[in-house]
Amino acid sequence: MNVLVTGGTGFVGGAIIRALVKEGHHVRVLARRTSKTEHLTAQGVEIAYGDILDRASIEAALQGCDTLYHAAALYDLWGLDLQTLTRTGVEGTRNALEATLKSSVGKVVYTSTAVTIGERKGEVGTERTLHRDYFLSKYERAKFEAERLAITYLDKGLSITIVNPAGVYGPGDFKPTGRFMIDLLNGRVPSLSAGVSSFVYIDDVGMGHVLAAQKGQVGERYILCERVIKTPEIAHLICQLSGAKMPSIVPTFLAGAGAWLFEIASRFTKRPPVISSETFRLIVHGFQVDGSKAVKELGIKYTPLEEGIRETILWYWKQGLLKRKPTCVT
């Protein structure tokens, strides 16, 4: 099968490509000429130069393809304004789907995020949860609007299946979750507060997209989530596997003040804060979603959190990103 992947040079897009190549598909990636693509061509991936904001380049890249995996988007919980996030997320999605209408593509797998589920505080969200009608981050709002736009193309005749990954972590992660793990391993997280988040390993996200194309129902959403876990518990697990010192647990208001101070410092250092105010808001509100539908309908087998974190720590060590050798390194 011939497929096009947008966002293939990114963290999630790269995992989708690895899963597709493993399954024997011919993969084409839409990439800017300034993007690093050597690791993709080494896997036998074809590069189609273009941009998600250039509809004509997407139309050209889609020629001869059977399936589109639209994973292109910007993601961070610090340093990106709403206009930039929306332009890439919403306009990029519109361009990709409009181009698909003019192609022979029979299936679209759209990469959303589980934060668009929008569960209320204390609630565990599912694919049928009604959004709470307020947003915890600019990223959530932009992706919510992009997903809502994608759904409208069902009425235009596109066969779209939506994938909603929880907090994605794993080797290669330098986004908020990965940065937090590196800082924790290097002793740069002074304290933590109560909170809860949902996680899924990067390789499972890649395979989840492939399974969504093979078995997913048109118009359905599939949350990918292996574990819902409290913040102190996942920090303890990371420290237990690495030998790092566990930060102290402080009241929520102190942690919130710390996030605010971290952001002020980042304005001068130009480096991401240890924890941003939006990350803090999400964790304290609670990010809890149920990934069981993907197990039942797609047949996905999740990597246990303990195994995934161990592999991630080992990868960070091999990249020279850690100050001290983790105890899980043998």
Q: What is the pLDDT of residues 87-108, one digit of tens each?
A: 999 999 999 999 999 999 999 9
Judge whether residue 298 has pLDDT over 80: yes
Q: Quick check: is 139 in a domain?
A: yes
In this prediction, residue 80 carries a pLDDT of 87
Contact in structure between 288 and 195 (CB atoms under 8 Å): no
For residue 271, what pLDDT band results from cuts at 50, 70 and 90? confident
Q: Quick check: is 295 in a domain?
A: yes
Q: Quick check: is 275 in a domain?
A: no
What's the predicted TM-score (pTM) here?
Answer: 0.95
The tally of domains found in the chain comes to 1
Q: Quick check: is 315 in a domain?
A: no
Q: Which domain holds residue 138?
A: 2-171+199-226+288-302
Q: What is the pLDDT of residues 144-162, one digit of tens each?
A: 999 999 999 999 999 999 9
Taking CA 169 as the corner, what is the angle to CA 70 and CA 95, rounded to the nearest 5 degrees? Answer: 15
Which CATH number do you get for residue 74?
3.40.50.720
User: Of the candidates 230, 232, 212, 231, which has an alpha carbon nearest to the alpha carbon of residue 220?
Assistant: 212
Would you call 327 helix, strand, or coil by DSSP?
Answer: coil
Q: Quick check: is 268 in a domain?
A: no
Tell me how far apart the alpha carbons of residues 148 and 282 are, in angstroms, rounded to a whole number: 21
